Amino acid sequence: MRFDLHAVDRATDGFFSAALDPAKWPDVLEKVSVATGSYGVNIVPIEGRLFSTFMVTESLAPAVEDYFAGDWNGRDFRCRHVPMIRQAGVVLEQDFAGEDDFKTLDFYRAQARFHLRWTAMIGFSSGDDFLAFALQRRIEDGPYDREEANFLHRIRQKLMITARLMRDISASEVKGMAAAFEMANVACVFFDRMGLVTTVNEKMRRMLGSDLQISHGKFSPTRVEDANAFDKRLRTLIEDDTPLASGEPEILLLSRKGRRPLIVRLQRLASDMQDIFSHSCVLAVVEDPEEKVRQRPATLTKLFGLTRAEAEIALLLAQGMTLHDIAEQRTVSYQTARAHLKSIYRKTDTNRQPELSLLLAGIRMG
């Protein structure tokens, strides 16, 4: 055994602090690599299509780049053995292949360019994802042995606890965002790394119907063209692991029978949480252009210092009512209504009814 057992224990205890501060992951992985006599370490999803978002030590970065450039993420033969990894928990490279495979398979020839061959793989779950914590050794270093594999089961227990902790933290963040959008009267839906819906706020649920549904975890516009455009944009954001840094999110339109289309803005979540442990990685904000924004006088009283009466009159003006109609509805004289109007213009720094309407239209008060 080439493991420094005490050093491995200390290094893997770092999983828990990294769960709370993801910036510590590179240092933790490097310490695990040294303590286990490995060339490098990486954590990667191994079920379904593999994306380029995962954690890796610097030593393995060139090999990882080549792995994706060669599309091995879509044809790595070892993915066929996921059931074995699930059952065993820990597997070694020699469980997958023998000397003939090392000599003949293109995969091992590609790995040999970086002098890599031997892997010890720890399988563990993070929510619905199945991940591998993979330790890598070079050809000349020789394989991991069974005694080392037995010790890796201790690491697996720590990984499972860490994954659950990070997943719960991420889920709490998403829940908080969904609640904030609900308070702002904004419809939103969140998606995970596989493109499945994870969270929908109540505002979004009220928009669902014959034109738009969520079925088996999929966000499903009825019109095929809309569904294809949405799926394409969603997949692009999932596979691009850099959150949108600036500019407006791309707008998509979802058609509705006899009504104006819904407006959808998709954006990758900017978070310091590692994607492979995240509850959600993409956010969609949905707007109904036919919905009248629910407006509350209290917002205007706080924002502009309007009185309650002035705030109510301002909202009626913004809806297009004339001052005469407002005076009649509120059973006040036209002169009283006009005095309120002058005060509203002064406090909001506006001069005409269209200008006031435009100002209030930009303030979400629901």
**Cβ(135)–Cβ(39) under 8 Å?**
no
pLDDT of residue 47: 74
Residues present in the chain in total = 366
Q: What is the pTM of this model?
A: 0.69
C-alpha 5, offset from chain centre: 36
pLDDT of residue 366: 47
Mean pLDDT for 205-232 is 92
Mean pLDDT for 204-225 is 92
**What is the per-residue pLDDT across 16-52, written as a single tens digit (0 to 9) for each?**
999 988 889 999 999 999 999 999 999 988 875 555 5
pLDDT at 275 over 80: no
pLDDT at 365 over 70: no
Separation between Cα atoms, residue 117 and residue 139, nearest integer Å: 5
Which of 4-13, 161-170, 177-186 has the weakest average pLDDT? 177-186
Q: What is the band of 325 on the pLDDT scale with cuts at 50, 70, 90?
A: confident
pLDDT of residue 355: 79
C-alpha 125, offset from chain centre: 18
**Cβ(199)–Cβ(220) under 8 Å?**
no
Would you tell me how many other CB atoms lie within 10 Å of the CB of residue 15? 22
pLDDT of residue 277: 82
pLDDT of residue 361: 64
Domains of the chain with bracketed CATH: 5-167 (3.30.450.80), 185-287 (3.30.450.20), 297-361 (1.10.10.10)
CA-CA distances (angstroms) from residue 168 to 149, 175, 214, 230, 338?
29, 10, 23, 28, 56
Which of 13-27, 46-60, 216-230, 274-288 has the weakest average pLDDT? 46-60
pLDDT of residue 356: 82
**What is the per-residue pLDDT across 93-121, written as a single tens digit (0 to 9) for each?**
999 899 999 999 999 999 999 999 999 99
